[in-house]
Structure 1
Amino acid sequence: MSNMETTSVLQCRSLIKEFSEGPEKLTVLNGVELDVKPSERVAIVGSSGSGKTTLLQLLAGLDKPTQGEVLVCNHALSELSETRQGELRNRHLGFVYQFHHLLPEFTALENVAMPLLLRREVSVKEARLRAEAMLEQVGLKPRMSHKPSELSGGERQRVAIARALVGEPDLVLMDEPTGNLDPNTAARIHDLMKALSEQLTTSFIVVTHDMAFASQMDRALRLEDGLLVPA
């Protein structure tokens, strides 16, 4: 995990995102400001179409803002090449998508080990051991040799969370992580996030429609009229 020079793992400054629709410009984000501290769990809620997923993509460097700046662990994304941005994501960020995006031909263990293998500085044996330990932490060690098609929706989501966390990232970005889960599984995932934020000082930004889930975070923000306001 990185030693940050500031007390923020992510900083977002005056973020504007516009889309062109014919002759018109659609402003989705209109000067978003955000600071996330180590171990902090932040929920972002908002109506459909308010720009939550767009914001998450900008924070991850998967899209570029029209104006403004995103800093991840003191690195300004706009100043990095595509290659360096990829390296930054692999080392400092984890992702949990709404539909988990597991690779169907690989087992749970192989899916979780993948981010470590991409670094090319961890042996296959070490990557497998760390993936096995993380799957055990999410309660899936007995299922680690199963492929995604052999797992339930909740189990696949926990595999995705294990994959996001196996590299001990500074920040995990989650897009509707409980959108397809029953309340009991959602509660277990919240408990896991809380434990890991304390153990690894990992921060979380969670985009969600689940207000009960959002209320359990350290902070809940609403994306409204292109700005983040307290929820």
Structure 2
Amino acid sequence: MSNEMLSPVLQCQSLSKCYDEGPETLEVLKGIDFAVAPSERVAVVGASGSGKSTLLQLLAGLDSPTAGTVHICGKNMATLSDAEKGVIRNRHLGFVYQFHHLLPEFTALENVAMPLLLRKGVSIKEAREKASAMLDAVGLSARSRHKPSELSGGERQRVAIARAIVSQPDLVLMDEPTGNLDPNTAGKIHELMLTLSKELTTSFIVVTHDMGLALRLDRAYKLVEGKLSLGDM
């Protein structure tokens, strides 16, 4: 069955976000419509300040739109309580940021296991086994006992990716995942992301300035003046 025939993992309709700045209203996002199918990889490209991070915040239910709706796996985020949104994020979403946001006092293995440990019904043993397997998948099994301060920038980002996908979420949101890495390390992270996306049934939305990465994904959107559109990159 093709992706187009499956229910979308994410769908947003007429999504808008405005901020009141004194007597004026700043429109950051203007009536955005798009959907992401299972296993699809989508890039969002735009200049700094164009609203890319705001868009990710809305898609994840971390902020509320001024107008429009976001559905994650068929659930309308606007109708859910904060606790219910938390469950959706834990069970259906993964996150990778420009800054890895690893917990400094925990090892790589413990950081990767954390999303599973927050779930009910998952034992510590099961969480550690799955985290270990995921670290092996990103080539860091030998570094599992190291804390973030003992890892390189590329290794920390690989741990962050492993943490995002250890629970096999339906969708991973990535905000400039290689923005702080040198070109060689960024290239390795790109290859890792592409490999993992092929092996998993997970969809990816990647916000990036990196045109090389954007063009390797299934679709690339441009965010300009608050509007999202497909077009020549």
TM-score (norm. length: structure 1): 0.96
Match for residue 196 of structure 1?
Answer: 196
Matched residue type, 1:186: A
| RMSD of aligned residue pairs (Cα, Å) | 1.2
Matched residue type, 2:145: S
User: Using the alignment, how far apart are the partners of 2:150 and 2:189 within structure 1?
Assistant: 20
CA contact (8 A) 1:69 1:77 kept: yes
Question: What's the CA shift string for 1:156-196, capped at 9, x where partnerless?
Answer: 00000000000000000000001011223222222222222
CA contact (8 A) 1:12 1:35 kept: yes
Structure 2 residue 95 is matched with structure 1 residue 95: yes
Structure 2 residue 110 is matched with structure 1 residue 113: no
Match for residue 86 of structure 2?
Answer: 86
Deviation at 1:121, TM superposition (A): 1.3
Match for residue 8 of structure 1?
Answer: 8
Deviation at 1:6, TM superposition (A): 4.8
SS in 2 for 1:70: strand
CA contact (8 A) 2:6 2:37 kept: no
Q: 1:71-82, aligned counterparts within 5 Å?
A: 71-82=71-82
CA contact (8 A) 1:100 1:156 kept: yes
Question: What's the CA shift string for 1:1-34, capped at 9, x where partnerless?
Answer: xxxx952110010001000111110000000111
Q: 1:16-165, aligned counterparts within 5 Å?
A: 16-165=16-165
CA contact (8 A) 2:12 2:33 kept: yes
User: Using the alignment, how far apart are the partners of 2:193 and 2:144 within structure 1?
Assistant: 20
SS in 2 for 1:161: helix
Question: What's the CA shift string for 1:137-172, capped at 9, x where partnerless?
Answer: 001111110000010111000000000000000000
CA contact (8 A) 2:9 2:73 kept: yes
CA contact (8 A) 1:6 1:74 kept: no
Matched residue type, 1:139: G
Match for residue 215 of structure 2?
Answer: 215
User: Using the alignment, how far apart are the partners of 1:209 and 1:198 within structure 2?
Assistant: 22
User: Using the alignment, how far apart are the partners of 1:183 and 1:41 within structure 2?
Assistant: 21
Give ranges in structure 2 of 5+ residues lacking alignment.
none
Structure 1 outlier segments of 4+, above 4 Å: none
User: Using the alignment, how far apart are the partners of 1:189 and 1:228 within structure 2?
Assistant: 26
SS in 2 for 1:122: coil
SS in 1 for 2:179: coil
User: Using the alignment, how far apart are the partners of 1:19 and 1:26 within structure 2?
Assistant: 5
